[in-house]
Amino acid sequence: MPTPRHFALIPAAGVGARMGAACPKQYLPLAGKPMLQHVLDTFAAAPSIAATFVVVSAEDAYIDALLAAAPHLQGKVTVLRHGGASRQETVRNGLRAMAAMPDKVDSEDWILVHDAARPGLTPALLQRLIDGLSDDAVGGLLALPVADTLKRGDGTTAARIAATVARAGLWSAQTPQMFRHALLLRALEQDGAADFTDDASAIEALGLAPRLIESSSRNFKLTAPDDVLLMEALLLQARPHSNVKGSS
């Protein structure tokens, strides 16, 4: 059997309503380039990644300009205009489109699904995930052990604590989440797939146990304006001698 390859799948069809921006949040400027480009650059530069697929909505008016301004991504990023109404639908549509390209992806190839709003992913974290799952029968994801004390609210408008939740053994899920193409597609096509909050949940519903690979706090998801400011500071700190406008 041929050695399984690794493909990145980036669902980028959302509008990012909580960010309150004039454009979808994945296209917001961040340390000199669109947020999504940070993600695409990381995967495109990784020797382990055979190709990157980004799934956008059919009406997306930004992706072409992003790629035109980033010639180093040509031939490394394929745009799939199959975005759905939810993240799960977008990923499922992307997997189906990839399956229609037999020269691009095989059923046993690894798919790394990564949030467009996690531009803090580093090459080291990406390789840690790939190496950690190279011989795993199921697959897995980057995640962080929960460090904060967790409180469950009582559900009222003026929320009060109903209980303190033991954090032992709890992990905060991140992305990429890495599973074989056929398995992930089967998981996302099962009944109730719309209720899953991430790809690992869909795999769990098949009775399987994805592996947890310890990540970093810098790989957080950007959901609010303050998150953008924090991530920009981290990215600029990582390249202190670069010029923001000309950096790539």
Alpha-carbon separation of residue 36 from 7, 82, 116, 202 (angstroms): 17, 17, 5, 25
Q: What is the CATH number of the domain that holds 111?
A: 3.90.550.10
Between 13-27, 45-59, 84-98, the lowest mean confidence (pLDDT) is in 13-27
**Does 160 map to a domain?**
no
**Does 200 map to a domain?**
yes
Q: Is pLDDT above 50 for 248?
A: no
Q: What is the pLDDT of residue 2?
A: 80
The predicted model gives 132-139 an average pLDDT of 97
Contact 111, 184 (CB under 8 A): yes
pLDDT tens track for 21-68: 578 999 999 999 999 999 999 999 999 999 999 999 999 999 999 999
Band of the pLDDT at 103, cuts 50, 70, 90? confident
The predicted model gives 77-100 an average pLDDT of 95
Q: Report percent pLDDT > 70 for the chain.
A: 93
Instruction: Look at residue 126 and give its three-state secondary structure.
Output: helix
pLDDT tens track for 228-243: 999 999 999 876 554 4
The predicted model gives 190-217 an average pLDDT of 95
Band of the pLDDT at 247, cuts 50, 70, 90? very low
CA proximity to 118, closest of 174, 67, 72: 174
Other Cβ atoms closer than 10 A to 248: 11
The predicted model gives 211-222 an average pLDDT of 97
**Does 124 map to a domain?**
yes
Q: Is pLDDT above 90 for 151?
A: yes
Band of the pLDDT at 194, cuts 50, 70, 90? confident
**Does 35 map to a domain?**
yes
The predicted model gives 195-205 an average pLDDT of 95
Q: Is pLDDT above 70 for 19?
A: no
Q: What is the pLDDT of residue 14?
A: 79
Residue ranges making up the domain that contains 26 = 6-138+175-238
- Backbone torsion region of residue 47, taken as left when φ is above 0, otherwise alpha when ψ lies between -120 and 50, otherwise beta: alpha
**Does 147 map to a domain?**
no
pLDDT tens track for 173-192: 999 999 999 999 999 999 98
pTM of the model: 0.92
Helix (H) or strand (E) holding 89, with range, is helix 87-99
**Does 105 map to a domain?**
yes
- What's the domain count of the chain? 1
Q: What is the pLDDT of residue 243?
A: 46
Residue 221 or 194, more confident: 221
**Does 154 map to a domain?**
no
Rounded to the nearest integer, the mean pLDDT of the chain is 92
**Does 151 map to a domain?**
no
Q: What is the pLDDT of residue 104?
A: 77
Residue 47: Cβ-neighbour burial (10 angstroms; 0-12, 13-18, 19+): exposed
